[in-house]
Amino acid sequence: MEKRRVLIVGGYGTVGRLVVEQLCGDQDLQLIIAGRNRIKAEETAQEFNASSCTLDANELPSVQEALINIDLVINCFGGPFTNAPLALAATAAERGIDYIDVSGSMEYSKRFLSLASTAEENHATLITGMGANPGIPSLAVCWLASQLEPPVEAEINFIFGSNIETLSPASLQEMHYLFKNPPLLWQHQTWQLNKVSGKQQTFNPPFHKSVYLGPSFSYDMMSATEIHDLNRLSAWSGCQSTFQGTLMYLGMKLGLAKHQRTRHLFLKLLKSAGQSATAVAESMIFVTASGKYQGLQAVKSVQCVGDEVFMTAAAVSTTARLLLDDTVSRTGAFLPPSVIPVDLFFDRLQAVDCIKVSVD
């Protein structure tokens, strides 16, 4: 049988390389490592018995050439996705090629969803936002809500870990964008400004230190409300009360991730704090939902603990396999909750090493 050809854009970057590691054992796949640097792409391809090509995600002719004879595009390019051209996703939609990316940007998602009809006409499934944020938490909300009777209220808690070694300037830039958005909550069938200032919370180990959580939200979760008719959905994010967690929070608040020069300094500072003995290495996504279960009021939760970048790669490779197995049959352009079969997704995510998913 002919191998399925999977193009991994940014395949020698932090997230992309992890995706390559997670997919390279699959004998049915031919992985193609892509990026702007030919030598790095070739070296990584050699390491994983893959092939390589050069590609600039912002240049349409380069994208059009690279997408010849490809079955699936995985876009892990070093964003930020905000304001990035849609060349990869648009070309995939036109050519009927399935596509996944790791954007966490609301601005990008809105433009991306305009590709829906082209993708549908050409039988392609395009998915954006697949990663630690917003993919995993929004899927977790849907998964829990599907097990409860309405009215359902859900809450997302996202705690940034400090495995800072894997944090890139691109990730910081995207986080800056998310921090800038006003925190919203879904209530009474509409989005409202979340005016609560924050809360202190203690989670189970490894987060036995208390965590300060501020309200946070991105419209990227909106399809969760559409699908399950949630009564209320709020989101909280924050950092652990370690030296490094506090630095991260303050740096973001002060806008240190906004400009290239301060972003690099900020990253250096965070990395130096990451070597301290008090740094805790993992992030956590903790999602709860309450509603009726077998006639009684119940609360269900999903907790994912791991390195944020690893979680992102695991979400992407799990989704890639669902697309390649033809488990996802809908075509069009989607945010994850609108198209991913949640039971299967979490079944498979729980099987990934180095990411702990527990469900109550």
Ligand X SMILES: NC(=O)c1ccc[n+]([C@@H]2O[C@H](COP(=O)([O-])OP(=O)(O)OC[C@H]3O[C@@H](n4cnc5c(N)ncnc54)[C@H](OP(=O)(O)O)[C@@H]3O)[C@@H](O)[C@H]2O)c1
Interface residue list for ligand X (CB under 6 A): 9-10, 12-16, 35-37, 40, 55-58, 76-81, 102, 104, 131-133, 168, 170-171, 174, 308-309, 312
Minimum distance from residue 164 beta carbon to ligand X (Å): 12
For ligand X, the closer CB: 145 or 313:
313
Inter-residue contact 105 to 82 (CB < 8 Å) = yes
Using alpha carbons, select from 211, 221, 215 the residue that is nearest to residue 159. 211
- Which residue, 9 or 322, has its beta carbon nearer to ligand X? 9
* Minimum distance of ligand X from residue 9's CB (angstroms): 5
CB of 159 to ligand X, least distance (A): 13
Nearer to ligand X, 16 or 291 (CB): 16
Backbone angles phi, psi at 333, to 5 degrees: -115, 130
Q: Which alpha helices (DSSP H) does the chain contain, by range?
A: 14-23, 38-47, 60-66, 87-95, 106-113, 116-121, 135-146, 169-180, 222-228, 243-253, 260-274, 308-324, 342-350
Q: In the 8-state DSSP scheme, what is residue 185?
A: E
The DSSP H or E segment spanning 238 is strand 232-240
* Ramachandran region, residue 188 (left: φ > 0; alpha: ψ -120 to 50; beta: rest): left
Reduced to 3 states (helix: H, G, I; strand: E, B; else coil), residue 246 is helix
Q: Smallest distance, Å, CB 77 to ligand X?
A: 4
User: At closest approach, how far in Å is the CB of 174 from ligand X?
Assistant: 4
Indicate the pairing of strand 98-101 with strand 125-127. parallel
* Residue whose Cβ sits closest to ligand X: 13
Question: Which is closer to ligand X, CB of 18 or CB of 142?
Answer: 18
> Token pair of 201, please?
């919370």
In the complex with ligand X, which residue's Cβ is closer, 171 or 225?
171
Measured from the CB atom, is 57 or 72 closer to ligand X?
57
Query: CB of residue 241 vs ligand X: minimum separation in angstroms?
Result: 22
